């Protein structure tokens, strides 16, 4: 099992991970360390334990917001899928209306063309 050093708030932590997960664990460590540095810039050095708890809560809050956005998108997707599954009759009616509009436009164009050719 590989060991990875993760630097959090200037302190190295050696963590074990599965084979091939080393880079991912380093990226996660960098992500958490960035949050810790952001907190340190606003609240100062309040101790490693407290900073780690605060950073964990910040990340948990971000994750909670992300889950809420995913739920919203899932609802939007479900609504769009429901609209796509409307009966073929409604689609046929829409096609008929479009055909009427195109026929009307064609008739107006022909009328204009006839007037232009007579002048």
Q: Who wins on pLDDT, 82 or 2?
A: 2
Residue ranges of domains in the chain: 3-85, 88-119
Q: What is the pLDDT of residues 42-55, one digit of tens each?
A: 988 888 889 999 99
Q: What is the pLDDT of residues 72-103, one digit of tens each?
A: 999 999 998 887 776 766 777 888 899 999 99
Q: How far apart are CA 67 and CA 56, in angstroms?
A: 16
Q: How far apart are CA 29 and CA 39, in angstroms?
A: 15
Residue found under tokens 């540095």: 37
Which residues are CB-neighbours of 54 under 8 A, at least 6 positions away?
A: 39, 43, 46
Give the number of other CB atoms < 10 A from CB of residue 28: 16
pLDDT of residue 117: 79
Say what the pTM is: 0.61
DSSP state, residue 30: H
Q: Which of 5-9, 63-67, 76-80, 88-92 has the lowest mean pLDDT?
A: 88-92
């Amino acid at each position: 099992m590989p060991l990875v050093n993760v630097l959090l708030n200037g302190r190295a932590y050696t963590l074990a991970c599965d084979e091939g997960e080393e880079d991912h664990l380093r990226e996660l460590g960098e992500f958490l360390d960035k949050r810790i540095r952001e907190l340190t810039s606003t609240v100062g050095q309040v101790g490693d334990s407290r900073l780690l708890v605060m950073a964990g809560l910040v990340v948990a809050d971000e994750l909670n917001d992300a889950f809420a956005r995913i739920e919203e998108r899932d609802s939007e997707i479900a609504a769009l899928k429901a609209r796509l599954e409307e009966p073929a009759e409604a689609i046929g009616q829409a096609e008929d209306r479009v055909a009427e509009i195109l026929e009307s436009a064609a008739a107006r164009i022909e009328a204009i063309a006839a007037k232009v050719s007579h002048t």
